[in-house]
Amino acid sequence: MSLVTRNVIIALAITLVLAGTVAYAVDYLNRARINELSTMEDQISIDTLSLDTQFSLLEAAPCDSIASSTTLISSLADLGNRLSYAEGQLGSDNAQVIRLKQQYSLLEIRDYLITKQLAAACGTKPVTVLYFYSNAGDCADCDKAGYALSYLRTTYPGLRVYSFDYNLDLGALKTLVGISKVRDTLPAFVIDGKRSYGFTSLAALEKQFPKGALATSTTAHP
């Protein structure tokens, strides 16, 4: 066997090994992503059932269920972060990602409704933010606004932030947008019922909260 032939065979073998390694790695990553999304679906189902139970508790003894209602917000934040990561990896047009976003948005809306019911029935004063964004390339400041809200949510654990993709095809979300009278000027915020649009800085965003509202949200939920 000539030296040239041997080098060609060695080069071909190396190429095949590399191609096989890459194919295995891609398949492994895809399976890992699918498993992650399946885990998120299971968690959303559990949290949805928890919210259904909380609605029943509210009917019987609304103020006695305050403690249980506060335990879900950290889970919502964690799910939201994982969903954002999955969307970044698989794309906003991925069918499974879209379905998860729809389920997650419904979960957020239901938690928001529970929070409002508790506030009305028990005299609590939760600090809530409805945040509307877009991943369609038409919102230059949405990423910065999202990072700012993540910082505030971490700094003030009592702050309830609900993030929604304004363009998501979901009837309940469209109803929420209509009731809140939110325009398609994004990013958009509804902070304790007051609408605002655009993002310039974290300091400017903090000024949109009622005076002293963030200070009352520093206590972590049990």
Q: What is the pLDDT along the chain (222 residues), one digit of tens a residue?
A: 666 676 667 777 777 777 667 665 655 565 666 666 777 777 777 776 776 776 676 666 667 655 555 556 666 777 787 788 778 777 888 888 888 889 889 888 988 888 888 788 788 788 899 999 998 889 999 999 999 999 998 888 788 899 999 999 999 999 999 999 999 999 999 998 899 999 999 999 999 998 887 876 654 433
Neighbours of 111 (CB within 10 A): 22
At residue 84, the pLDDT reads: 81
With tokens 């609605």, the residue in question is 55
Which two three-digit tokens encode residue 180? 């809140």
This prediction has a pTM of: 0.74
Structural domain boundaries in the chain = 44-217
- DSSP, residue by residue, the chain: --HHHHHHHHHHHHHHHHHHHHHHHHHHHHHHHHHHHHHHHHHHHHHHHHHHHHHHHHHH-GGGGHHHHTTHHHHHHHHHHHHHHHHHHH-TT-HHHHHHHHHHHHHHHHHHHHHHHHHHHH-----EEEEEE--SS--TTHHHHHHHHHHHHHH-TT-EEEEEETT---HHHHHHHHHHT--S-SSEEEETTEEEE----HHHHHTTSPTTTTGGG-SPP-
Domain 44-217 = CATH 3.30.360.10: no
